């Protein structure tokens, strides 16, 4: 179908839906809805994208595919969606960083997430933890701070990579705790945790999903988690606030459309995505990925996006991180 005729068919479908109560996008023919996931295939984010695509396919009775548009830390995928037609046929499924953090990291972006994208729905949240290895005597976060101040040359923390949310969160915690907290970047959480268990580094900050099994197995000790409430995966561990530090941070995955996508299309997409997230089988899979299912309205995601962008700005600054490209 030629592009002009295709866009016209979408407009007519929306008009019919408004008249007859039919789901918009349910009669779009054979051209698939594309969900752009801006990172490589194989990880939990990619699996989440394909899970949501499957449910949308059933809910809309239309073809839905996932496209891995990789490169530039997710920025190329965001740009692809920014430049797509605002007809509801191209969506972005993305973690928080490219849409709420990168504007504080990069001096210039080829997109503005607040003006070039339209929030559709948040899918789920994840939080972070700070853990110590068996060679560190601290049993609480305050004890860890006291130990780090008494042993400043050893006050190092590892994260999965430089320029990640754990890196920024660790820097912000160090600032608020009055520590000279030095960052050590690894290639993934597994390498950092291996060195922590072996005594090469004392502390790791990463997502809770990477800490749970080792904590339960007694190989490491998680001292605090970052959400407002205790993690359901680590209910025995206090939050940063409970441990005496006013710090709260979560990550999330969300779905976005190009700016100027019609409100009725956003509404229909939100409905089918939220229904997908709340389905028992999807909820189970999200929990297995370490995500707490949410399923927000488009308006709620817009508020979350602005709030979290404001939170991460000073964290990025505290880290001193400068990207190479």
Residue 22's pLDDT is what? Answer: 34
Instruction: Look at residues 66, 62, 52, 55 and name the one whose alpha carbon lies nearest to residue 30.
Output: 62
* Residues making up the chain, counted from first to last: 325
How far apart (Å, rounded) are the C-alpha atoms in residues 266 and 87?
A: 9
Angle at 222 between CA 218 and CA 227, to 5 degrees: 145
Say if residues 222 and 209 touch (Cβ distance below 8 Å).
Answer: no
Residue 179's pLDDT is what? Answer: 92
**Digitized pLDDT (tens) for each residue of the chain, 325 residues in all:** 333 333 323 332 333 233 333 344 544 457 899 999 999 998 889 999 999 999 999 999 999 999 999 999 999 999 999 999 999 999 999 999 999 999 999 988 999 999 999 999 999 999 999 999 999 999 999 999 999 999 999 999 999 999 999 999 999 999 999 998 999 999 999 999 999 999 999 999 999 999 999 999 999 999 999 999 999 999 999 999 999 999 999 999 999 999 999 999 999 999 999 999 999 999 999 999 899 999 999 999 999 999 999 999 999 999 999 987 5
| pLDDT tens column, 65-85 | 999 999 999 999 999 999 999
Q: For strands 203-207 and 33-37, give the pairing.
A: unpaired
Give me the phi and psi of 20, to 5 degrees please.
-110, 5
Say if residues 182 and 157 touch (Cβ distance below 8 Å).
Answer: yes
How far apart (Å, rounded) are the C-alpha atoms in residues 76 and 102?
A: 13
| pLDDT tens column, 125-173 | 999 999 999 999 999 999 999 999 999 999 999 999 999 999 999 999 9
* Maximum Cα–Cα distance across the chain: 70
- Burial class from Cβ neighbours inside 10 Å (0-12, 13-18, 19+) for residue 224 reads buried
Question: Residue 105: how many CA atoms within 13 Å on its side-chain side?
Answer: 22
Residue 28's pLDDT is what? Answer: 44
């Amino acid at each position: 179908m030629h592009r002009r005729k295709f866009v016209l068919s979408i407009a007519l479908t929306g008009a019919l839906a408004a008249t007859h109560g039919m789901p918009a996008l349910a009669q779009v023919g054979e051209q698939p809805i594309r969900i752009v996931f801006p990172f490589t295939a194989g990880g939990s984010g990619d699996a989440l994208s394909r899970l949501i695509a499957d449910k949308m396919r059933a809910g809309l009775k239309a073809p839905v595919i996932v496209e891995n548009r990789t490169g530039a830390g997710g920025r190329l995928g965001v740009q692809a969606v920014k430049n797509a037609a605002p007809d509801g046929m191209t969506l972005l499924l993305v973690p928080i960083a490219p849409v709420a953090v990168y504007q504080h990291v990069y001096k210039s972006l080829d997109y503005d997430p607040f003006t070039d994208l339209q929030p559709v729905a948040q899918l789920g949240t994840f939080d972070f933890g700070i853990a110590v290895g068996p060679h560190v005597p601290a049993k609480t976060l305050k004890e860890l701070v006291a130990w780090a101040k008494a042993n400043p040359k050893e006050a190092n923390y590892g994260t999965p990579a430089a320029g990640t949310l754990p890196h920024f969160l660790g820097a912000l915690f160090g600032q608020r705790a009055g520590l000279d907290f030095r960052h050590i970047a690894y290639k993934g959480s597994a390498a950092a945790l291996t060195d922590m268990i072996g005594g090469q580094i004392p502390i790791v900050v990463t997502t809770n999903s990477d800490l749970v099994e080792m904590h339960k197995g007694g190989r490491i000790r998680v001292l605090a988690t970052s959400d407002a409430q205790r993690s359901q995966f680590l209910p025995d561990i206090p939050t940063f606030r409970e441990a005496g530090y006013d710090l709260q941070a979560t990550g999330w995955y969300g779905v976005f459309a190009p700016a100027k996508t019609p409100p009725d299309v956003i509404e229909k997409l939100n409905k089918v995505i939220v229904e997908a997230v709340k389905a028992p089988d999807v909820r189970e899979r999200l929990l297995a990925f370490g995500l707490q299912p949410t399923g927000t309205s488009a308006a709620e995601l817009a508020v979350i996006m602005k709030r979290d962008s404001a939170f991460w700005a000073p964290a990025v600054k505290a880290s001193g991180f400068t990207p190479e490209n």
